[in-house]
Amino acid sequence: MKILIVGSGGREHAIAWKLARSKKVEKLYCAPGNAGIADIAECVPVKAEDIEGICGFAEENSIDMAVIGPEVPLSMGITDALQEKGIRVFGPDKSCSRLEGSKAFTKAFLKRHNIPTAGYKEYTDKESLKKDIGIFGYPMVIKADGLAAGKGVVIAEDKEAAEKAIEEMMGDRIFGDAADTIVVEEYLTGIEASMLCFVDGKTIVPMESAQDYKRIFDGDKGPNTGGMGTYSPSLVFNEELEKQIKDQILTPTINGFIKDGLDFHGVLFIGLMISDDGPKVIEFNNRFGDPETQSVLMRLESDLADIFDACIDGTLDKQEIKWSDKRAVCVVLASAGYPGSYEKGKVITGLNDVDADIVVFHAGTAEKDGNIVTSGGRVLGVTAVGDTHEEAREKAFANVEKISFEGAQYRKDIGKINRK
């Protein structure tokens, strides 16, 4: 098979890394890719949002399967466009992509199908929203309805912070059209966890669990990011919780898809809050999470190409998916200033000094004058596996210290449980 991966981050590097191990894969391409992906796939200078360019390349090169990494091209309808050209696609169509493209759409879906989630209300004008400040008490969860690169959520601790967030979102429009509608939610307490699921239109199969760390600083302080690290499996999961999630969330979700005519093929990412009242859905995403994918795929023993085929063909119920008992930890190295403004082009050193069993997934890198340099906010994901959680954690951090670039920052509590 000739496979085209669309995207340029750590998630796409992890997908490429796993697909490169498949006997079914003859040739890997990635558009546009990054400096790390270039070691295992042919990088194509076409942006992920250039749907016409992606379709043209796929046709000209007789691509057998396209794997869509990021949420933006999915919401733009890249799956529909490729399918019209006769190309098989791993990734949901534009209709299903509303589950990530609109938080209000997802909240309505969850409520309609009695899936546990936080209470909410949506707003389309600033004045109505300001009148309802504190409607669910504080902290106040304020979300831009549309896509905002994982940064469109503000947890306002008081009225002043809430007014500032509302003004920035709906007045200053820092997230553009994404904040034309605002969703305000009840603040949930508990422990966050992530569950990625393979879906083939009629069957949903959960992957191994993971925990993500969204805030920039240790102890879950500071603004939200796209994710500063993960580990798998989550320390809070057990058989009882997994059964609750299956019965209360997974089964009603796939039944809801079928009932609503959402023919979902790809990965459904479910952000969860494990509260005292049981698991509740924080969000749906339409694709592999980043950086959850890095830790989860390190533990996948089955052929990823076979699983993708099954999701596309609707034969997931016949696919046996095997996982390693080992533990995985991924620590993200980010640029100074992230998730705000940051400089690019900082030379990265130490990449060749890491241990042989460590995988460094590139998220925001480029090659310049023979050097690997930074080209994004999140730069690298240093990922380790071990027989125990502590072993994997210690190996990851020991190797993080071998890599450096000017202004590098990372959280030192990745792998520890933080209760909100």
Return the structure tokens found at 283. 């969000």
Q: Which of 38-42, 191-195, 238-242 has the lowest mean pLDDT?
A: 191-195
Sign of CA dihedral 48, 51, 56, 61: positive
Q: Do 29 and 4 contact (CB within 8 A), yes or no?
A: yes
**pLDDT higher than threshold 70 for residue 420:** no
pLDDT, tens digit (0-9, with 9 covering 90-100), for 359-404: 999 999 999 999 999 999 999 999 999 999 999 999 999 999 999 9
Rounded (10°) CA dihedral 8, 12, 17, 23: -110
- pLDDT value at position 174? 87
Q: What is the distance between the alpha carbons of residues 323 and 233, in angstroms, rounded to a whole number?
A: 11
| pLDDT confidence band for 350 (50 / 70 / 90) | very high
Tokens of 13: 């590097």
> pLDDT value at position 418?
67
Per-residue pLDDT at 419: 59
Distance CA 165, CA 100 (A): 21
pLDDT in tens, 3-41: 999 999 999 999 999 999 999 999 999 999 999 999 999
Mean pLDDT of 314-332: 97
The mean pLDDT value for 68-93 works out to 97
Cα angle: 199, vertex 9, 352; to 5 degrees: 125
Average of pLDDT values for 346-366? 98
Q: What average pLDDT does the segment 164-172 reach?
A: 91
pLDDT at 331 over 60: yes
Residue for token pair 């190797």: 399
Question: Which pair of structure tokens corresponds to residue 66?
Answer: 């396209």
pLDDT in tens, 249-289: 999 999 999 999 999 999 999 999 999 999 999 999 999 99
Task: Supply the pLDDT for residue 28.
Answer: 98
- Higher-pLDDT residue of 46, 149: 46
Tell if the pTM clears 0.85, that is, is over it.
yes
Counting residues of the chain whose pLDDT is more than 70, the rounded percentage is 99
Hey, CA dihedral for 137, 138, 140, 141, is it positive or negative?
Answer: negative
Tokens 């603004």 identify what position? 223
Show the tokens assigned to 89: 């696609």
Strand 120-123: give its sheet, edge to edge.
Answer: 120-123, 182-185, 140-144, 153-156
* pLDDT at residue 224, as a whole number: 84
140-144 and 153-156 beta bridge pairing: antiparallel
pLDDT above 90 covers what percent of the chain? 91
Angstrom CA distances, 339 to 151, 307, 335, stand at: 8, 34, 8
- Rounded distance between C-alpha atoms, residue 128 and residue 256, angstroms: 31
**pLDDT value for 151:** 72
Mean pLDDT of the chain: 95
Phi-psi region of 40 (alpha: psi -120 to 50; beta: other; left: phi over 0): alpha
pLDDT at 318 over 60: yes
User: Could you tell me where the beta strands, DSSP code E, fall in 77-190?
Assistant: 88-90, 120-123, 140-144, 153-156, 182-185
Query: What does the angle CA 339 – CA 341 – CA 346 come to, to the nearest 5 degrees?
Result: 100
